[in-house]
Amino acid sequence: PVLVVDFGAQYAQLIARRVREAGVYSELVPHSVSKAEIEAKNPVAMILSGGPSSVYADGAPEFDASIFDLGIPTLGICYGFQVMAQALGGEVAQTGNREYGATDATVAGDGGVLLEGTPVDQNVWMSHGDSVVKAPDGYQVLASTAGTPVAAFGNADACFYGVQWHPEVKHSDYGQRIIENFLHKAAGLPADWNSGNVIEEQVARIREQVGSARVISALSGGVDSAVSTALVHRAVGDQLTAVFVDHGLLRQGEREQVEKDYVESTGVRLITVDAADTFLGHLAGVTDPEEKRKIIGREFIRAFEKVQRELVDEAKAEGEPIKFLVQGTLYPDVVESGGGAGTANIKSHHNVGGLPDDLDFELIEPLRTLFKDEVRAIGRELGIPEAIVGRQPFPGPGLGIRIIGEVTRERLEILRDADAIAREELTKAGLDGEIWQCPVVLLADVRSVGVQGDGRTYGHPIVLRPVSSEDAMTADWTRLPYDVLSKISNRITNEVREVNRVVLDVTSKPPGTIEWE
Ligand code: XMP
């Protein structure tokens, strides 16, 4: 793999993704990694990420400089660039010339293989206080800015390169080109990592792990569980049984999509548990968001355990016990829950599919090394319908946390209708690719006065919350075209009884979260 060394900024995951977008497999390691650990992973290249601190600050993240002696092709970014400069004999100083955000960089000389094919003047994204004031001996300065004499350097013989700016963010005009130059041209790595070989690799591995035992999987209707289940099915066929818990908090058409389209396209053996009555019973009278989440999570586990016991008994009677449970854990979940030490825990992970630890199963997690966009690509290749694979992230607790106030059947109906209209119009306008997700929220405990026909109405507002995001950790509200908003608003207020007002949420995250509860 290409190892991305994480110095504690949020950028490391993004770098790992960009490397994979370039067709090269990448993994994250913490900056505290030892030389022996690095050697054991046998990396083809290394990228040192940015970090929050100055190399001179107390508690600045350290890195074992003897790792450079291994001679692994290396690209340092921002803080990683400064760590490199310092370790290799250059000079880093607190010049007082801070640069934040869009900055003009000028390529020096031919820019070396790193900046090949990029213009002399380019717009780059900076975020640093200290600067490299002298490149190490034998290193060519490849770019500079008004405030930073050494904004990029390189040594072709050693295959060591560094840039002060962030090529992994889209605001750096030629960022991806620079990452690809490093990987393909400098380090000579082919672009041969793709979803096709992930499927082959995983299928072989799952077969080996499972043997002739039986497997159970919880389907939520979301992308991750749909793809992991289909992948395991590809590997072991009818040794797998998928369980879908309908908690009554799904959107319009979702159950049918899973029971019909998904089953038809994958051939997965599916059991649906009808649990809406139970869930709504337990949610009656509850308005506190955390309490709702807890109840939904608990009831999900109960429903799942009930079927599981029945299946286990049946399998035992037939002599092939159920030994394995499929989970759709993704790479960011692994990294966020401490897999990449040194990364700040920004948000604790909440997943209603998060089954209890005391379940007596071994886990199969075929998506553990993958990012969401890669999971989608694999799902498409497995033939899962676009309506499921292309689906926006939908929270495990479903519409239960999109009704502000008590969750009732009647309120669910109202929200489902409004949500279906919003989704339909967004798709019709071709905006699905631009939006990360668009929660539609019912302010069930708020009423507002309206006028329709000749009469006064006293109904509820619906909130549209369209957001753009790369990973849901941060988000901005999406600037949807006014005519699309107007169409959605008109249709909802005309077609959904009880709703007489549609409002737009124009808050970024932070400070707002994506969901309202
Ligand atoms: P927030 O609201 O925290 O959401 O900004 C970030 C992303 O996570 C989704 N989300 C959840 N997903 N179980 C899930 O599986 C949950 O309890 C849950 N809460 C929020 C949310 O839709 C967004 O994509």
474: domain CATH number? Answer: 3.30.300.10
Residues 429 and 378 grouped into a single domain: no
Q: Ligand 1: residues within 6 Å at CB?
A: 293, 347, 350-352, 393, 395-397, 437, 472, 509, 513-515
- Specify which residues 30 forms β-bridges with: 6
Q: How much distance in Å is there from the Cα of 429 to the middle of ligand 1?
A: 25
Q: Is residue 511 part of a domain?
A: no
387 is in an annotated binding site: no
The C-alpha atoms of residue 275 and residue 296 are separated, in whole angstroms, by 11
Q: Separation of 465 CA from ligand 1 center, angstroms? A: 13
* Distance, CA of 145 to CA of 412 (rounded, Å): 56
Question: Looking at residue 355, what is its pLDDT?
Answer: 56
Strands 362-364 and 440-442: unpaired
**Structural domain contains residue 141:** yes
398 found inside a domain: no
Element spanning 283, H or E:
helix 276-283
| Domain assignment present for 517 | no
Task: Count the domains in the chain.
Answer: 3
User: The domain containing residue 152 runs over which residues?
Assistant: 2-186
The 3-state DSSP class for residue 109 equals coil
Which backbone phi and psi does 448 adopt, to 5 degrees?
-140, 155
Catalytic residue among 31, 99, 159, 166: 166
Which atom of ligand 1 sits closest to the CA of residue 437?
24
Residue 384: φ, ψ to 5°: -75, 135
**Residue 396 domain-assigned (yes or no):** no
CA-proximal residue: ligand 1, atom 14 (nearest)? 395
pLDDT at 336 (0 to 100)? 63
Collapse the DSSP code of 48 into the 3-class scheme (helix H, G, I; strand E, B; otherwise coil) and give the result.
Answer: strand
Residue 400 covered by a domain: no
pTM of the model: 0.79
| Active-site position among 31, 159, 168, 180 | 168
Say which amino acid occupies 483: D
What is the rounded CA–CA span in Å between residue 277 and residue 279?
6
Cα(473) to centroid of ligand 1, in Å? 10
**Contacts of residue 263, Cβ cutoff 8 Å, sequence gap at least 6:** 270
Residues 153 and 212 in one domain: no
448 annotated ligand-binding residue: no
Over the Cα atoms of the chain, what is R_g? 26
Which ligand 1 atom sits nearest the alpha carbon of residue 297? 17
User: Can you tell me the distance from the alpha carbon of 158 to that of 106, in angstroms, rounded to the nearest whole number?
Assistant: 24
Structure tokens at 517: 């509860």
Specify whether 159 is catalytic: no
Residue bearing the CA closest to ligand 1, atom 10: 395
- CA gap 265, 123 in Å, rounded: 46
224 labelled ligand-binding: yes
**If you take atom 11 of ligand 1, which residue's CA is the nearest one?**
395
Known catalytic residue at 78: yes
Q: Which of 325, 359, 389 is the last residue of a domain?
A: 389
Task: Report yes or no: 67 and 35 within 8 Å, Cβ to Cβ.
Answer: yes
221 is in an annotated binding site: yes
227, 338: one domain? yes
Residues 376, 386: Cα–Cα separation, whole Å:
9
* 319 annotated as belonging to a binding site for a ligand: no
Q: Are residues 128 and 229 in the same domain?
A: no
Q: Whose CA is nearest to atom 7 of ligand 1?
A: 472
| Same domain membership, residue 356 and residue 278 | yes
Cβ-count burial of 261 within 10 angstroms (0-12 exposed, 13-18 middle, 19+ buried)? middle
Helices 372-381, 223-236: axis angle to 10 degrees equals 50
Q: Peptide bond before 397: cis, by omega within 30 degrees of 0?
A: no
Question: Catalytic annotation on 168?
Answer: yes
Same domain, 230 and 160: no
- Distance, C-alpha 22 to centroid of its chain: 18
Burial (CB < 10 A; 0-12, 13-18, 19+), residue 413, is middle
Q: Are residues 358 and 435 in the same domain?
A: no
Q: Which CATH number covers residue 9?
A: 3.40.50.880
Q: What CATH code is carried by the domain that includes residue 368? A: 3.40.50.620
Largest Cα–Cα distance in the chain?
A: 83
Determine whether the annotation assigns residue 220 to a binding site. yes
Residue 502: CB atoms within 10 A of its CB come to: 22
| Atom nearest to 353 CA in ligand 1 | 15
Peptide bond into 511 cis (omega under 30): yes
| Among 514, 516, 517, residue to substitute to test ligand 1 (most atoms within 8 Å of Cβ) | 514
236 plus 328 within the same structural domain: yes
Of 134, 169, 186, the domain-final residue: 186
Q: How many CB atoms are closer than 10 A to CB 305?
A: 14
Residues 23 and 167 in one domain: yes
- Is residue 225 part of an annotated ligand binding site? yes
Specify whether 128 is located in the same domain as 19: yes
Q: What region, left, alpha or beta, does residue 159 occupy, with left being phi > 0 and alpha being psi -120 to 50 degrees?
A: left
How many angstroms is it from 264 CA to the middle of ligand 1? Answer: 29
The residue whose CA is least distant from atom 9 of ligand 1 is 395
Residue 329 forms part of a structural domain: yes
Which of 186, 214, 243 terminates a domain? The answer is 186
Question: Sign of the CA dihedral 305, 311, 316, 317?
Answer: positive
pLDDT of residue 122: 97
224 and 179 together in one domain: no
The whole-angstrom separation of Cα 401 and Cα 405 is 9
Residue with CA closest to ligand 1 atom 3: 513
DSSP state of 498: T
Identify whether the C-beta of residue 26 lies closer than 8 Å to the C-beta of residue 70: no
pLDDT tens track, the chain, 517 positions? 999 999 987 789 899 999 999 999 999 999 999 999 999 999 999 999 998 778 888 888 999 999 999 999 999 999 999 999 999 999 999 888 889 899 999 999 999 999 999 999 999 999 998 999 999 999 999 999 999 999 999 999 999 999 999 999 988 999 999 999 999 999 999 999 998 889 999 999 999 999 999 999 999 888 999 999 999 999 999 999 999 999 999 999 999 999 999 999 999 999 999 999 999 999 999 999 999 999 998 898 888 888 888 988 888 888 888 889 998 988 887 776 554 433 333 333 444 445 555 667 888 999 998 988 899 999 999 999 998 998 888 998 999 999 999 999 999 999 999 999 999 999 999 999 899 999 999 999 999 999 988 899 999 999 999 999 877 888 999 999 999 999 999 999 999 999 999 999 999 998 999 999 9
Report the distance separating Cα 428 and Cα 480, nearest Å: 13
* d(CA 298, ligand 1 centre) in Å: 17
237 found inside a domain = yes
- Residue 489, token pair as written in the block: 């608003």
Vertex 415 angle, CA 409 and 419, to 5°: 145
Task: Give yes or no: residues 35 and 170 share one domain.
Answer: yes
Atom of ligand 1 nearest to the CA of 222: 15
**Is the distance from CB of 477 to CB of 466 less than 8 angstroms?**
yes
On whether the CB atoms of residues 502 and 465 are closer than 8 A, the answer is no
Q: Ligand 1 centroid to 515 CA: how many Å?
A: 7
The secondary structure of residue 181, as a DSSP letter, is: I
